[in-house]
Amino acid sequence: MSVEDTRMRDKLRALAGAELVERLDFLERRQQRRLPDAPLPVPAVDDRLDADVIFGGGGLSLLIAAELAGRGISVLVFERARAGTAHREWNASRSELQVLVDRGLLDEATLAEMIVASYKDGFCRFHGGKADHVVAGVLDQAIDAGALAAHVRAVAEARGVRFVDGVSVDGLGPGEYGVRVRAKRLGEIPLADQGKPGKDAVFAQGKLFVDARGASSPYATADLLCPTVGGVLRGLPEGDGPKRWRRDVGEILVTTEGIVDGVQHVWEGFPGRDGELTTYLFYYAKAAKLAGRPRLLALYTRFFETLPSYKDGDPTLVRPTFGYIPGWSRLTRPAAPPHPRVALVGDAAARQSPLTFCGFGAMLRSFVGAADALEKGLTTGQLPPSIVDDAEVHAGTGPLAALMADSGMQGDALNHLLDDAFGALADAGNETYASLLQDRMGRAAFRAFVLQTAGRHPRVYADVFTSLGLVDALRWGAKVTTGFGWKS
């Protein structure tokens, strides 16, 4: 451990406590030690099945599990901690949340109780920019994530889903007739010892396996990563002004400085319960550049050191949130499962928006379709490469995320580009603006958006070629001008 690492750990312990530093160290080790699943003997045709579908991971994917169980399909869930708990705060639009009611996962009254804050609008603001770019109907409902996750688990259990908590999937044996799964017991094992060999294991067999292990999955090979830290804060004063927050306004993307050490840091903030503001600090990066290089400790230290540039006050960290959120530029091959009886969902699949990384909204929009694909796969024994629908607009926005991850720009150059781009969206009207953030924008609207941005910021063409290189820039240009398509 370097002297600088030791200093950062000591500083973060003083700012946020020793437990947070321990959890960060554990996550970094797990991210760097992503071993392939052990090959297991494949099930024979007459082998006993423990479930139709086995899930590895019990986060947002429980929406799919509960939906399947509601159709009479047997489901087994392995989860390394406890399935049905939330590790991030969630927000979405009211129209997107309606699917939870439509599919019988909760009723209108329960949904209303779980909405802890509603906003009249939200905005994006960039350092040195001309204006706040306001949009309505996007990420405007904050949800009690823990209550929703626990409720979905209870619904899933009532529908017959079986849960095995405290185990970590580390072996697969997919074959013609099913999938054998091995999961190591973790139980009360200390964080430092979790994942080490020699622990007791449990085995199960199903017709299909759903990998919902997130960024720790050995198949999570997306080319972008979004290191993210923050959490729920108290002690930040409300009110008007750029360094205050309002309970009826969401802050979608905000920058308070230019590029530092090749990185453009971005803030996000959205109100929750009375007096609480969920705040994140993140940046876009190429996954290859972060390989084997712990970054969350330094980012969390930066979070506390630079928070005064974003908000006034003397904050208290109520609940920390951190992790690596995968993203896919659509310029490389997608994350893919190892067998047609295995499916990737959530962060393991990285089919969510490469610009906003909205995992909650993406799951709300796709869990019914994912259940449809799994139900069909139980009959055919074959699943498509992705069971999560990938919005066509991602073929346009993915390269933009790659540009932000490795732009080669300096100072406020990227902020100026973003300010012009979101200014073009705002001028195009709320529906156009919202459609991009909610993955609904069509080809013609995206082409118009690119042209309007270039009209405001002609240097964007040079920025694209410098960042993406000639081949990828031409590929992206072809997709924008002739029609989207994400397959390599």
The per-residue pLDDT for range 326-378, each reduced to its tens digit, is 999 999 999 999 999 999 999 999 998 888 777 899 999 999 999 999 999 99
Number of domains in the chain: 3
Rounded Cα distance between 177 and 167, Å, is: 25
Rounded Cα distance between 319 and 71, Å, is: 36
For the purposes of burial, counting CB atoms within 10 Å of the CB of 488, is it exposed (0-12), middle (13-18) or buried (19 or more)? exposed
Nearest to 223 by CA among 285, 292, 283, 299: 285
Q: Are 321 and 87 in contact (CB under 8 A)?
A: yes
CATH value at residue 50:
3.50.50.60
In this prediction, residue 285 carries a pLDDT of 92
In this prediction, residue 191 carries a pLDDT of 47
Concatenated DSSP letters of 101-154: HHTTSS-HHHHHHHEEEE-SEEEEE-TT-SS-EEESSSS-EEE-HHHHHHHHHH
In this prediction, residue 120 carries a pLDDT of 97
Q: Are strands 121-125 and 167-174 parallel, antiparallel or unpaired?
A: unpaired
Mean pLDDT of the chain: 90
Domain annotation covers residue 487: no
CA angle 145–360–85, rounded 5-degree value? 35
Whether 316 and 215 share a structural domain: no
**SS3 letters across 430-462:** HHHHHHHHCCCCCHHHHHHHHHHHHHHCCCHHH
Rounded Cα distance between 220 and 397, Å, is: 20
Going from the C-alpha of 65 to that of each of 59, 133, 153, 217, the distances in angstroms are 10, 38, 9, 18
Q: Are 446 and 392 in contact (CB under 8 A)?
A: no
Domain annotation covers residue 389: no
Going from the C-alpha of 263 to that of each of 299, 304, 472, the distances in angstroms are 11, 17, 21
Whether 303 and 182 share a structural domain: no
Whether 202 and 238 share a structural domain: no
Tell me the backbone φ, ψ of residue 198, rounded to 5 degrees. 95, 5
Question: Where among 303, 327, 351 does a domain terminate?
Answer: 327
Rounded Cα distance between 434 and 137, Å, is: 7
Whether 200 and 227 share a structural domain: no
Domain annotation covers residue 387: no
Domain annotation covers residue 385: no
Rounded Cα distance between 461 and 41, Å, is: 52
Whether 189 and 312 share a structural domain: no
Q: Classify each residue of 386-406 as buried b or exposed e, where b means 16 or more C-beta atoms within 10 Å of its C-beta.
A: bbbbbbbbbbbbbbbbbbbbb
Domain annotation covers residue 113: no
Q: Are 23 and 319 in contact (CB under 8 A)?
A: no
In this prediction, residue 190 carries a pLDDT of 47
Reported residue count of the chain is: 488
Q: H-type helices in 391-442, by residue range?
A: 394-405, 413-428, 430-437
Q: Classify each residue of 318-339 as buried b or exposed e, where b means 16 or more C-beta atoms within 10 Å of its C-beta.
A: bbbbbbbbbbbbbbbebbebbb
Domain annotation covers residue 267: yes
Domain annotation covers residue 112: no
Cα end-to-end distance, the chain, whole Å? 40
| Residue-wise pLDDT tens digits, 241-292 | 999 999 999 999 999 999 998 899 999 999 999 999 999 999 999 998 887 6
The tally of CA atoms less than 13 A away on the side-chain side of residue 297 is: 26
Whether 321 and 457 share a structural domain: no
Whether 185 and 314 share a structural domain: no
| Residue-wise pLDDT tens digits, 442-478 | 989 999 999 999 999 999 888 888 888 888 888 888 8
Residue 194 pLDDT class (50, 70, 90 cuts): very low
Whether 362 and 432 share a structural domain: no
Rounded Cα distance between 444 and 217, Å, is: 36
Whether 376 and 451 share a structural domain: no
Domain annotation covers residue 111: no
Rounded Cα distance between 417 and 264, Å, is: 12
Whether 216 and 227 share a structural domain: no
In this prediction, residue 294 carries a pLDDT of 67
Q: Are 110 and 104 in contact (CB under 8 A)?
A: no
| Residue-wise pLDDT tens digits, 212-241 | 999 889 999 999 999 999 999 999 999 999
In this prediction, residue 34 carries a pLDDT of 77
Tally Cβ neighbours within 10 Å of residue 43. 21
Rounded Cα distance between 19 and 23, Å, is: 6
Whether 470 and 426 share a structural domain: yes
Considering the chain, what percentage of its residues have pLDDT values greater than 90? 70
Report pTM.
0.92
Which SS3 state, helix, strand or coil, does residue 299 take? Answer: helix
Residue 488 pLDDT class (50, 70, 90 cuts): very low
User: What is the maximum span of the chain, computed from C-alpha positions, in angstroms?
Assistant: 68
CATH value at residue 306:
3.30.9
Which tokens go with 261? 């050490």
CA angle 173–179–183, rounded 5-degree value? 70
- pLDDT over 70 at 199, yes or no: no
In this prediction, residue 232 carries a pLDDT of 95
Question: Where among 327, 350, 370 does a domain terminate?
Answer: 327
Domain that holds residue 456: 394-482
In this prediction, residue 475 carries a pLDDT of 85
Residue 113 pLDDT class (50, 70, 90 cuts): very high
Whether 167 and 130 share a structural domain: no
Tell me the backbone φ, ψ of residue 470, rounded to 5 degrees. -60, -50
Q: Are 89 and 115 in contact (CB under 8 A)?
A: no
